[in-house]
Amino acid sequence: MNSFGNNFCITLFGESHGSCVGCVIDGIPSGFSPDFEAIDSDLLRRSPRAAAFSTSRQETDSYEILSGLYRGTTCGTPLTVIFPNKDSRPGDYAFTAPRPSHADLAAFEKYGECCDLRGGGAFSGRLTAPLVFAGAVAKQILSGKGVSIASHICSVLDIADQPFDPVSNELPQLDPMFPLVEASVRRPLEALFDELRASGDSVGAVAECKIVSLPAGIGEPFFDSVESVLSHLLFSIPGVHAVEFGEGFGFGKLRGSQANDPIIPDRRTATNRSGGINGGISNGMPIVFRAAFRPVPSIAVEQDSIDLKSGEAVKLTITGRHDVCILPRGLAAVEAAAAIGILDLLMQDKGRKL
């Protein structure tokens, strides 16, 4: 239930205001020396920073390795990491009325009165910290095989970045904290985030991700298609409500003669509307997908809810500081999901030792 992967398998645990969140990473090859600077760099991208687009809570993402590492090298056993919850402020989230579009009501129906919804409990975005950690490990292992992953802010409302070039095998240089292909988009985005922060509102956004140098032939025809595995992981990320590969929903507006990718010498395709996948299998072109995040549901605007005990209507205002747009932070989770899924499929074919 809280585990994913047949070969590179992660198990998540923890609640936002419990003692920690963490994960067990199983199937990691022995003799691998994690680059902790690279892991910290991904964790920093995910962390809540006092930036224009994010919360000012000082949630520190320090972590402890509990197992699997010996003298700085993986020893073949599961790598377990925890992120202690140091700055929990339960008062922010007293639970009498479920917050609209949060997991509160659904969780209450599932688990009953005993569920821990402080700070979102197990539904909190904080669970993406161990996910990003595991993803950073997966990225490094993939990188050793030549596979690279990048993502950027694709669009927010009607402000759109230039999309990745789907055909080129290159990844552009991106600012890790605010990745945009076209740097000039940053200014209007920051202005939008300022305006939303002032009004106590939030906004949804779309991420785009590209994976290059993945060999052709990865993935399985039916239930372990590349799309199935990646979407399974992507939809686990809190806030993701849509995933598309290649042209995605755009295919609904195309004719076959416009949509097919001509095959050219060197077993490549002239275009890459398929997003690097045919029949669920990587075809050697870059994997390209997009994922949409809903607006952060915690907003400083008065909303309708009910009192769970009486069942009667109440007005609810969510206090505390929250993200205006989760996407800049969410990109680290998107890349983590991509890396974990691709590595698991690669190991299915090539074994743990790749």
Among 37, 94, 158, 173, interactor with a second copy by CB under 8 A:
158
* Site membership for a second copy, residue 209 (CB under 8 A): no
Nearer to a second copy, 41 or 95 (CB): 95
Total residues found in the chain within this entry: 354
* Site membership for a second copy, residue 306 (CB under 8 A): yes
* Site membership for a second copy, residue 252 (CB under 8 A): yes
User: Across-strand partners of 81?
Assistant: 23, 65
Nearer to a second copy, 173 or 256 (CB): 256
| Alpha carbon distance 58, 88 (integer Å) | 10
Q: Which of residues 168-197 bind a second copy (CB under 8 A)?
A: 196
Q: How far is CA 287 from the centre of its chain?
A: 16
Nearer to a second copy, 41 or 121 (CB): 121
Q: Which of residues 220-249 bind a second copy (CB under 8 A)?
A: 220-225, 227-229, 231-236, 238, 240-249
| Alpha carbon distance 269, 61 (integer Å) | 42
- Cβ atoms of 92 and 52 within 8 Å: the answer is no
| Alpha carbon distance 16, 199 (integer Å) | 26
Among 43, 53, 88, 97, interactor with a second copy by CB under 8 A:
97
Q: Which of residues 317-336 bind a second copy (CB under 8 A)?
A: none
What are the tokens at 233?
Answer: 């992981």
Q: Is 12 helix (H, G, I), strand (E, B) or coil?
A: strand
| Alpha carbon distance 43, 181 (integer Å) | 21
Total of residues contacting a second copy (CB under 8 A):
158
* Site membership for a second copy, residue 208 (CB under 8 A): no
Q: Is 48 helix (H, G, I), strand (E, B) or coil?
A: coil
Among 35, 40, 61, 116, interactor with a second copy by CB under 8 A:
116
- Cβ atoms of 216 and 283 within 8 Å: the answer is yes
* Residue 65 per-residue DSSP state: E
Q: Site map for a second copy, 269-298, x if CB under 8 A?
A: xx--xxx-xxxxxxxx-----x-xxxxxxx
Q: Site map for a second copy, 35-74, x if CB under 8 A?
A: -----------------------------xxxxxxxx-xx
Among 190, 216, 320, 321, interactor with a second copy by CB under 8 A:
216
- CA torsion sign for 262, 263, 264, 270 is positive
Query: Which among 36-44, 93-101, 169-177, 181-189 is the span making contact with a second copy, rule CB under 8 A?
Result: 93-101
* Residue 218 per-residue DSSP state: -
Nearer to a second copy, 37 or 113 (CB): 113
What are the tokens at 96?
Answer: 């009498």
CB of 288 to a second copy, least distance (A): 11
